[in-house]
Amino acid sequence: MMQKEIVLFWFRRDLRLDDNAGLYYALKSGYPVLPIFIFDTDILNDLKDKKDKRVAFIHDTLIHLQQQLQQHQSTLYVMHGTPIDSFEKLTTIYNVKAVYTNHDYEPYAKQRDEKIKNKLEEKGISFHSCKDQVIFEKDEVVKDNGEPYTVFTPYSKRWKAALAHFYLKPYLNNRYFSAFIKQESITIPTLQQIGFEKITYDVVAPELDETIVKDYDKNRNYPAIHGTTKLSVHLRFGTVSIRQLVSQALELNETFLNELIWREFYQMILWHFPHVVSGCFKKEYDKIVWRNNEAEFKAWCEGNTGYPIVDAGMRELNATGYMHNRVRMIVASFLTKDLLIDWRWGEAYFAEKLLDYDLAANNGGWQWAAGCGCDAAPYFRVFNPKLQTEKFDPGLQYIRKWVPEFEEFSYTKPIVDHQYAKERCLQAYKLALTK
């Protein structure tokens, strides 16, 4: 007997049931919807540390989704394998009419989705992908001549003007939850079964704390204060909706709105200029001759440079998977400019450790700090760790928290003299740029 036709909704970086664009269209398709998630071995196999906080966060979030779906007598189907094999299996078990998902703009994801789309279409199954994780994507905010912006301020002005014509309301998915397939709950593989170990992590609830956002412009630069939202992990994995955050930001604080626009700016840059994944946005900076001293890199990674603000940041990252934005800028400037270590080394280390790791934002942040990105800090601006501390951690609370021994004799001596390093950096950059 012919099985009943269903559609699949494929979760990726949109791990929520409410206000989820692709899921909304799946639920409205007229067919029962089976939500799926694939622990993609093409991605997982590259993660060296099997105690990965991101994998643990995703796993916990899937359990939460499963509990929500059970309330609708439905289930999530979590698979472990390559996407191609997983869809092969799903299309033999179920009579799949269509697959719905949300756009993912990273180069790997674009290729993967193209492959899956073609494979499914060969079987007569349609593939629908929707915009969900940003307000404006790809070429929706461009210059009058159609070219992409490469400077933030005019981009953000155009972005805000475009918002006036954007329907910012949430997708009311809950109206259609009865369309979830009625099926016994399917057991989610354990972390061990997918080759990982349990590890604890600390994240805020996926909700905007309005008291923080009201004073965001005043407090956001002080790492000792809880003055930023810490929602980056939720934005990364879609456990909050960007439409909801932008609506709140419009009411509460324009500086905060600008940060959400930076996020889209870097996603847009990655889309239009994929060469940034491996090279400098400004190609002339590819000529910089980096020192790449491995012992100094190790000292930086471990938070043992003898510069307390740098060490505090690196130790915070190693311990929690998070680092305050101001401190990310300081440690990145220190690595690339004081130590003259290739920004790609720092980028890769952050990619391994950050719970909120996002290719576009991380790459954009690193290239900004190294001076080689679009709209980057000018190369001759070298952050002075001492002055940065005086300005942004004047009471030294942040440093005391992460480097309690910093005033003791036993604390590491600075691995380089900042003034000397600054001159060395300016010479190296000048040399590269006049070649």
77 in contact with ligand FAD (CB under 6 A) = no
Nearer to ligand FAD, 74 or 228 (CB): 228
Nearer to ligand FAD, 4 or 381 (CB): 381
Q: Which stretch binds ligand FAD (CB under 6 A): 36-44, 174-182, 325-333, 397-405?
A: 325-333
300 in contact with ligand FAD (CB under 6 A) = no
Q: Which stretch binds ligand FAD (CB under 6 A): 19-27, 98-106, 122-130, 228-236?
A: 228-236
Could you tell me if 173 and 17 are in contact, meaning their C-beta atoms sit under 8 angstroms apart?
yes
DSSP 231-255: -HHHHHHTSS-HHHHHHHHHHH-HH
The Cα–Cα gap between 243 and 20 comes to 10
Cα 325–Cα 367–Cα 350 angle in degrees, nearest 5: 55
232 in contact with ligand FAD (CB under 6 A) = yes
329 in contact with ligand FAD (CB under 6 A) = yes
Q: Of these, 78, 203, 340, 361, which contacts ligand FAD (CB under 6 A)?
A: 361
How would you class 379 by CB atoms within 10 Å of its CB: exposed for 0-12, middle for 13-18, buried for 19 or more? buried
Could you tell me if 158 and 128 are in contact, meaning their C-beta atoms sit under 8 angstroms apart?
no
Q: Which of 219, 293, 318, 325 is catalytic?
A: 325
> Is 325 tagged catalytic?
yes
366 in contact with ligand FAD (CB under 6 A) = yes
209 in contact with ligand FAD (CB under 6 A) = no
CA 156 vs CA 137, 266, 358, 373, 377: distances in Å: 13, 12, 20, 17, 18
Phi then psi dihedrals of residue 164, to 5 deg: -60, -25
Cα 63–Cα 66–Cα 71 angle in degrees, nearest 5: 135
Ramachandran region, residue 146 (left: φ > 0; alpha: ψ -120 to 50; beta: rest)? left
Q: Which of 10, 159, 262, 402 is catalytic?
A: 262
Cα 12–Cα 117–Cα 69 angle in degrees, nearest 5: 35
Minimum CB separation of residue 261 from ligand FAD in Å reads: 9
Q: Which stretch binds ligand FAD (CB under 6 A): 103-111, 143-151, 285-293, 348-356?
A: 348-356
> Is 262 tagged catalytic?
yes
> Is 259 tagged catalytic?
yes
356 in contact with ligand FAD (CB under 6 A) = yes
SS3 content of the chain, % helix, strand, coil (to 5): 50, 10, 40
235 in contact with ligand FAD (CB under 6 A) = yes
> Is 368 tagged catalytic?
no
Could you tell me if 27 and 98 are in contact, meaning their C-beta atoms sit under 8 angstroms apart?
no
> Is 300 tagged catalytic?
no
Minimum CB separation of residue 192 from ligand FAD in Å reads: 27
Q: Which of 259, 293, 304, 384 is catalytic?
A: 259
Which runs of consecutive H residues, i.e. helices, occur in 100-149?
107-122
Contact partners, residue 278, CB within 8 Å, separation at least 6? 344
Task: Give the pair of three-digit tokens for residue 353.
Answer: 């450790």
260 in contact with ligand FAD (CB under 6 A) = yes
Q: How far is CA 220 from the centre of its chain?
A: 19
Nearer to ligand FAD, 74 or 362 (CB): 362
Minimum CB separation of residue 46 from ligand FAD in Å reads: 16
Q: Which stretch binds ligand FAD (CB under 6 A): 36-44, 231-239, 397-405, 424-432?
A: 231-239
Q: Which of 106, 290, 318, 384 is catalytic?
A: 290
370 in contact with ligand FAD (CB under 6 A) = no
> Is 197 tagged catalytic?
no
The Cα–Cα gap between 348 and 346 comes to 5
Binding site for ligand FAD (CB under 6 A): 220, 228-232, 235-236, 259-260, 262-263, 266, 325, 328-329, 332, 350, 354, 356-358, 361-362, 364-366, 369
Residues forming the active site: 259, 262, 290, 325, 343, 366
